[in-house]
Structure 1
């Protein structure tokens, strides 16, 4: 939930700086450079805050949106599946756009798409138009999701770790904030779900203004804005790597769990007798768990060559959490939220493993592109199936049981992917 010039790169490579990116673009003076860097850092945080409220604010108000628009549970499941579909499709296009226009230009455009989509969807009375506008906002999310780490690696080559930490925490803060405050905001604004969703265009506008300012300061012009040339690397026959396939499956299964939870968890709690406001807070708790862990887990997991213990522990947390929701969602609901939140920390673990399973930056780029694209495609049916099961049974037993069951193969493929080996050793020779 990429490199600056490589079309197949993704977020993982930015977790560790490369020797070739140690020179920042020179500015007119140290004071101007520092001011520009500070502006860009604030822009990164502001953009990251806007990468999840498109989804989590809708999850908090899904009931009134469904009723007002006449939306079936199956279509609601489609809404939960749109994010990974956009990420799979546009994640491939983002590096090419960045080469032609420059990453800062594309991120600024992405903030514009988020602003327009979030604001406009709150005025429509059509389910189809609502879906299209949500897809527009998510297209912006997908582009920024891929390119923000590119910006970090290119313009903060000596501070990649702290900036990735800032990016991860801001993303988690935005997720939690939207989940916890959307319902109270809607209530305070007259009980309108339209205002409750539309208000999230405001932080997007702020991020857009910041990125337009960054764009003006940097005066970026397509690929020429790169501080270093595109790295050359050998194309690997990655389809022959069992580790690559295992990583793709692990990424897809953990994404299935994450997007299903973000889309349906407030409704699951509400159907169990928890108030709408408290349900949003519980979703916020799920997301808040990842704030400190997303920062610490990659460093811990990278210290050893093997990450199997983390895979198993996080998977077991998820099984316990979903079974608890299935059997007693209204009893100690905070405990199930914590367990589900811990299981969703498989996302930063997956990104970490993507960076460790190849020997070279070029290998990491190819592995990341393959595993994340495959993973997002795998997770698309999950939320749709959950919505269909709920619509046909009127209960959450089968959907939650399915999520708990899917964690078993997630653990199995994750254990395979977490072994200390490199894909080059599997495909070369």
Structure 2
């Protein structure tokens, strides 16, 4: 990514931002560093709505898709593992990409790929093409995952918590709506293809705000003179820092538990005696309760001097929920669901921390890419290990013990990132 034409010395802290208006490198417009454009914010929220819909809609209709395309168990397993593979692999390439192409133009292509991939996968009868087009759609999400924290840092440096909370809430809403409505839409139209394909329209809408921003970027580049002095952005390599690894481990451990909960919580409640419909509603309750938490958590993280109280509070909520699910899953299910929703607030918190632990937009995108790409590799182990332990033991004591162990790792990493420090300094 190309910084503003005038080079500036390293800043002592993120709050020490030059108050003078500058020309934004992503749009070419003059902006105040303390504010972001309304169009950028709208674009970010629309992108966030799309970041999980393609995944959760497929999860809700997986049986119908398997029957319709004749997917084998291995192929179905590959499809459900594709998100973490794509998020890890393609997310790692995003810093390289944004050093060469303006973020607005990258997001146009990413959301276009998401829309096209969703359309193509519902018009095919080939299992192979379904997998490949799903990967195309997920590639757009993988890139957007990394870019959003950077855009917050670039356009809203003094509103990191608020804006991160807003787009995380939009992400949670999109996740919940897609999971809850995919099956009814499929039934209404008589085909699973409608239940998956309808979300392509939402991705297409998300392209619209970024088109004028991308055009402004191109116009600004054309107006630039060949003799303009352009500072070379510092190359930040989080893999060489302790902070980078602590962020990656925390992101991975909390995602591991999140994917395990999404994949297996309903089965746990069914084993405890709940009807399938009730078990599904309890799972949906974790996501629904996560909407206000997603808005509140980044605001708290942005205002606190240290993240230690949040790390310990989220750990306590998750630990109590896991112990409750092991000892009395039926007797106090609503309480365990509420505590799980609070514990899953670790996701919006770590997204906020990515911006708080970097001084610059370049550092933010590098830290975001490393933490998320490495973290999603760790996260892929969650549903797999829970499934293996469940099949091997026939119960939930061992799987919950595994999740408690992952929570201990998460807490240790969280304490390492709690105090204010910056990846550029390491």
Q: After TM superposition, give the deviation of residue 39 of structure 1 in Å.
A: 4.3
Structure 1's 40 and 359: CA in aligned 2 closer, same or farther, altered over 3 A? closer
TM-score by length of 2: 0.77
Take 1:360 and 1:209, find their aligned partners in 2: how far apart are those partners?
27
Q: Which residue of 1 aligns with 2:42?
A: 42
Structure 1's 297 and 224: CA in aligned 2 closer, same or farther, altered over 3 A? farther
Structure 1's 207 and 377: CA in aligned 2 closer, same or farther, altered over 3 A? same
Q: Which residue of 2 aligns with 1:120?
A: 120
Q: Which residue of 1 aligns with 2:371?
A: 371
Give secondary structure in 1 for the equivalent of 2:22.
coil
Give secondary structure in 1 for the equivalent of 2:100.
helix
**Maintained 8 Å contact 1:80/1:384:** no
Give secondary structure in 1 for the equivalent of 2:218.
coil
Take 2:331 and 2:66, find their aligned partners in 1: how far apart are those partners?
26
Counting only pairs closer than 5 Å after superposition, residues 314-325 of structure 1 correspond to structure 2 as 314-325=314-325
What are the Cα deviations for residues 180-207 of structure 1, in whole angstroms up to 9, with x where unaligned?
22223233333x3332222222212222
Aligned residues: 407
Take 1:73 and 1:401, find their aligned partners in 2: how far apart are those partners?
27
Q: Which residue of 1 aligns with 2:198?
A: 199
Q: After TM superposition, give the deviation of residue 388 of structure 1 in Å.
A: 4.7
Take 2:412 and 2:365, find their aligned partners in 1: how far apart are those partners?
24
Take 2:278 and 2:220, find their aligned partners in 1: how far apart are those partners?
46
Q: Which residue of 2 aligns with 1:292?
A: 292
Take 2:101 and 2:28, find their aligned partners in 1: how far apart are those partners?
23
Select the residue among 218, 221, 231 that pairs with 1:220.
Answer: 218
Structure 1's 179 and 134: CA in aligned 2 closer, same or farther, altered over 3 A? same
Which stretches in structure 2 are left out of the alignment for 5+ residues?
A: 5-13, 31-35
Take 2:295 and 2:276, find their aligned partners in 1: how far apart are those partners?
30
Give secondary structure in 2 for the equivalent of 1:101.
coil
What are the Cα deviations for residues 64-89 of structure 1, in whole angstroms up to 9, with x where unaligned?
33454555666555444322322222
Take 2:308 and 2:152, find their aligned partners in 1: how far apart are those partners?
29
Q: After TM superposition, give the deviation of residue 327 of structure 1 in Å.
A: 5.9
Structure 1's 62 and 340: CA in aligned 2 closer, same or farther, altered over 3 A? farther
**Maintained 8 Å contact 2:102/2:214:** no
Farther-moved stretch of structure 1 (72-81 vs 348-357):
72-81
Counting only pairs closer than 5 Å after superposition, residues 74-113 of structure 1 correspond to structure 2 as 76-113=76-113
Q: Which residue of 1 aligns with 2:254?
A: 254
Counting only pairs closer than 5 Å after superposition, residues 303-318 of structure 1 correspond to structure 2 as 303-318=303-318
Give secondary structure in 1 for the equivalent of 2:406.
helix
**Maintained 8 Å contact 1:254/1:347:** yes
Instruction: Please give the root-mean-square deviation of Cα atoms over the aligned residues, in Å.
Output: 4.1
What are the Cα deviations for residues 179-237 of structure 1, in whole angstroms up to 9, with x where unaligned?
222223233333x3332222222212222344445545x363697799x9566447578
Counting only pairs closer than 5 Å after superposition, residues 99-248 of structure 1 correspond to structure 2 as 99-154=99-154, 162-190=162-190, 192-212=191-211, 214-216=213-215, 218=216, 220=218, 232-233=233-234, 239=240, 241-248=241-248
Q: Which residue of 2 aligns with 1:9?
A: none
Which stretches in structure 1 are left out of the alignment for 5+ residues?
A: 7-14, 31-35
Take 2:238 and 2:148, find their aligned partners in 1: how far apart are those partners?
28
Take 1:96 and 1:237, find their aligned partners in 2: how far apart are those partners?
14
Structure 1's 238 and 69: CA in aligned 2 closer, same or farther, altered over 3 A? closer
Take 1:303 and 1:184, find their aligned partners in 2: how far apart are those partners?
41
Structure 1's 193 and 97: CA in aligned 2 closer, same or farther, altered over 3 A? same
Q: Which residue of 2 aligns with 1:408?
A: 408
Take 1:355 and 1:29, find their aligned partners in 2: how far apart are those partners?
23
What are the Cα deviations for residues 250-291 of structure 1, in whole angstroms up to 9, with x where unaligned?
111111112333344455556666566655544443223333
